Chains A and B, each alone.
Chain A
Amino acid sequence: MSSPASQPGALRRLLKNPKAIAALAVLGLIVLLAIAGPLVFPYAPETTTSAKLTAPSAAHWFGTDLNGRDLFSRVLQGARVSLIVGLCGALISFLIGTTYGLISGYVGGRTDNVMMRLVEVLHSVPRLIIIIVAIFTFAPRLEGFLHEKWPEMKGYAKVLIIILSLGLIEWLSMARIVRGQVLTLKEQQFVLAARALGQSHTRIILRHLLPNLIGVVVVYLTLTIPAVILDESFLSFLGLGISDPQASWGSLLSDGKNAINPIRSYWWLLVFPAAAMSLTLLALNFLGDALRDALDPRARR
């Protein structure tokens, strides 16, 4: 297997791929809107007005919700929360998963055996139990801690808890993938040579193994972000996620779903958040695909 890091032109191949360009453009636009949007647009997402449940119009592009709040602003605010949750959750899972997999694969033997059995145990327990227990265990402590030390951050407690819980559950596959890679890499000649030269384990891990793992890890990271965003929306669906007046795409969708009934369908409450979220997930999945194509040595043929 050739190593992704030593592949010149992975980036160039990526930028030649129209799928990747389109995905990057869409993502860039969404991130830009999420950051700058709330500063530019006239309605604050929390402002309630008497214009309740109005259909999309020139004044309110995406219509208004049950409390007369402008849905476009809410979707932009939701973008901030969802993107941050996805990114940070994926980063946490990346840090834990890579470290765990590296140690497990590199040390090998009995340690590897024990560490991988632990991953299997965590896999066999339904994820939902772990996530919910984590939320209920962390929530009071973190809120108490923020209340004492950092009162201005208190409103973000829920977001932090969700990031932590999802990050702490999503690393399992990453650990497995990294371990598998390390197992094959460490038997290769350049690692044996480095060891024969008397390099320390830390140096071998940092200088020789890690750069060769980047390809796989980056691809997997891109695919973890949409997974975490979906997880958060699922928690919001259960009423455990972000709650009013804050918004995430998940919480907007779960509100929107409740607005679909046989008597009157406030379709815009479901359609616009769904469109924003699926567009983002679609772009991220596309990017992950394109990255895999660019970094996969077999694709170089």
Chain B
Amino acid sequence: MFTFIVRRIFSLFLVLLVAVTASFCLLRLAPGNPFTQGERAITPEQLDAEERKYELDGSLFSQWARYIGVMPNHKKEFSGLLQGDFQPCLKYKDRTVRELIDQTIPVSATLGALALLLATVVGVTLGSFAALKKDKLADAGAMFFALFAVSLPTFVVGPALILIFALWLGWLPVGGWNGVSSLVLPAITLAGPFIAYISRLTRTSMLEVLGQDFIRTARAKGLAEKRVIYRHALKVAILPVVSFVGPLAANLVTGSLVVESVFNLPGMGGFFVNSVLNRDVFLCCGTVVIYCTLLVLLNLVVDVAYKFLDPRITLDE
């Protein structure tokens, strides 16, 4: 178990290195540059000066090495990711990447956590319910709803919910970032498609588990049906859901651009997309670092959770 976790932490650095390198190179090789403000073109001399100032001059390799922090910069210092320096933003020049991330993470994380909770609870409930009523109307209804939810893009669900609950009924605010009530609609919008995935996953896996011997044994020894389902079946049936939720959580917490922009929330998703559009390498790679770290750590949590849910699983490969 211990060696497993250590090995995973080590692989985190490998994944981080690969993802940051790939993002960095892609953005630097793509046409365009982060220094053009608006429509006004800048002269090659200005561009050279800007690139030199931000250590983005010279070969791609040396740019990358200075950003990572394995090569000294013009001031003869090592100042890169390895030293914990995320660099300034290239587009919003008075702010550093660190500041922006610190400001946006709480918004995205709160929204993401809320959506994750909603998706898991509703999804698992709906899925188990459908599995218990297999081939009955309720099952068909639940699964139809699930497919329907995957078939709607979030930027349609968002405005539709605003239209109904904020503008017509006036129950909830239209958008913005103030209090829990302003997070209800965004969380529902964000969770929608994942409720669908999770409920389908739960249903399939529940049906498989219900056909297994240990369930028959549990029933045969006279356990109440509720206990059979919630204590015995669900514990195993939830495994595929757990492994789906890991990467999903990383996605949700780092923010969904669409939901944030529809509801006017100052989260990380919007900054990430703009950083790509603006070729702001530093901001983009900064968000990639956060995203990959979350992804690997949450996957680790998932694997450890697996072990506790199903003792048959051993972690050492």
A122 to B15, CA, bound (A): 11
Nearest CB of chain B from residue A168's CB, rounded to whole Å: 13
What would 21 A/B residue contacts be, using CB atoms closer than 8 Å?
A126-B23, A126-B272, A126-B288, A128-B272, A129-B288, A132-B276, A133-B27, A136-B31, A234-B155, A238-B277, A253-B155, A256-B159, A257-B159, A260-B163, A265-B163, A274-B152, A277-B153, A278-B148, A282-B147, A282-B148, A285-B147
**Residue in A129, A250, A270 whose CB lies within 8 Å of B284:** A129
What residues on B are CB-neighbors of A262 within 8 Å?
A: 167, 174
Residue-wise, chain A 264-301 has the 8 Å CB interface mask toward B (1 for contact) of 01010010001001100110011001000000000000
**Residue in A129, A250, A257 whose CB lies within 8 Å of B23:** A129
* Residue B70 interfacial (CB < 8 Å): no
What residues on B are CB-neighbors of A254 within 8 Å?
A: 155
A128 to B153, CA, bound (A): 16
Asked if residues A133 and B26 are in contact (CB atoms below 8 Å), the reply is yes
Nearest CB of chain B from residue A193's CB, rounded to whole Å: 33
Asked if residues B148 and A137 are in contact (CB atoms below 8 Å), the reply is no
* Residue A200 interfacial (CB < 8 Å): no
* Residue B291 interfacial (CB < 8 Å): yes
Output the nearest chain A residue to B275 by Cβ-Cβ distance. A129
Interface size class of B (residues with CB under 8 A): 35 or more
What residues on A are CB-neighbors of B292 within 8 Å?
A: 124
Residues of chain B in range 120-163 having any CB-CB distance to chain A below 8 Å: 147-148, 150-153, 155-156, 158-160, 162-163
What residues on A are CB-neighbors of B284 within 8 Å?
A: 129
A136 to B151, CA, bound (A): 28
Asked if residues A289 and B147 are in contact (CB atoms below 8 Å), the reply is yes
> Total number of A-B contacts with CB less than 8 angstroms?
102
Nearest CB of chain A from residue B147's CB, rounded to whole Å: 5
A230 to B155, CA, bound (A): 11
* Residue A226 interfacial (CB < 8 Å): yes
Asked if residues A125 and B153 are in contact (CB atoms below 8 Å), the reply is no
Residues of chain A in range 213-267 having any CB-CB distance to chain B below 8 Å: 226, 230, 233-234, 237-238, 250, 253-254, 256-257, 260, 262, 265, 267
* Residue A5 interfacial (CB < 8 Å): no
Output the nearest chain B residue to A279 by Cβ-Cβ distance. B151
Q: With A136-B31, A140-B31 in contact, do A126 and B155 touch (Cβ < 8 Å)?
A: no
* Residue A121 interfacial (CB < 8 Å): yes
A224 to B31, CA, bound (A): 29
What residues on B are CB-neighbors of A281 within 8 Å?
A: 150-152
Nearest CB of chain A from residue B140's CB, rounded to whole Å: 9
Residues of chain B in range 30-87 having any CB-CB distance to chain A below 8 Å: 30-32
* Residue A95 interfacial (CB < 8 Å): no
What residues on B are CB-neighbors of A270 within 8 Å?
A: 156, 159-160, 163
